[in-house]
């Protein structure tokens, strides 16, 4: 299930720009209407300016006028030996910009983990904490 989303994410890996870490990551958001948005990690020598793939994909989704209720699934992929999980910053962003039960697929092409943001970031800080 969701092989199309995984294929689009893996295809986007070629667009990753990771000259410092050599750790290429890509992501694909699929909307309930079938439309997709991809993102890749883009590194910068000023490391704090680096942007992760899943944030690029989710920001592209929102930039095109869609919101969390429109999102069906997000895939985050890499070709590393192990399945990569979102960093803390990405988990925080996803906790606000995804519904809590939205499927998050993590894959390295050999292994796949299906999860959601509640599993990845229990007790998340949210707007309700402000």
Is 54 catalytic? The answer is yes
CA 106 to chain centroid, in Å, comes to 9
DSSP state of 38: E
- Contact between residue 53 and residue 27 where contact means Cβ atoms under 8 Å apart: yes
Give dist(CA 39, CA 13) in Å, integer: 9
Using left for φ > 0, alpha for ψ between -120 and 50, and beta otherwise, residue 129 falls in alpha
Paired strand residues for 42: 17, 51
Which of the following is catalytic: 7, 54, 69, 72?
54
DSSP state of 105: E
Give dist(CA 24, CA 117) in Å, integer: 22
By annotation, the residues acting in catalysis are 54
């Amino acid at each position: 299930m969701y092989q199309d989303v995984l294929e689009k994410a893996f295809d986007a890996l070629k667009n990753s720009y990771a000259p410092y870490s050599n750790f290429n990551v890509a992501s694909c958001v699929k909307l309930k209407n079938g439309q997709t948005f991809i993102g890749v990690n883009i590194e910068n020598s000023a490391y704090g300016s680096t942007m992760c793939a899943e944030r690029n994909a989710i920001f592209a989704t929102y930039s095109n006028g869609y919101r969390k209720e429109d999102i069906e699934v997000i895939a985050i992929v890499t070709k590393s030996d192990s399945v990569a999980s979102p960093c803390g910053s990405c988990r925080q962003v996803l906790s606000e910009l995804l519904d809590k039960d939205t499927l998050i697929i993590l894959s390295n092409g050999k292994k796949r983990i299906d999860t959601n943001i509640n599993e990845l970031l229990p007790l998340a800080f949210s707007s309700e904490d402000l």
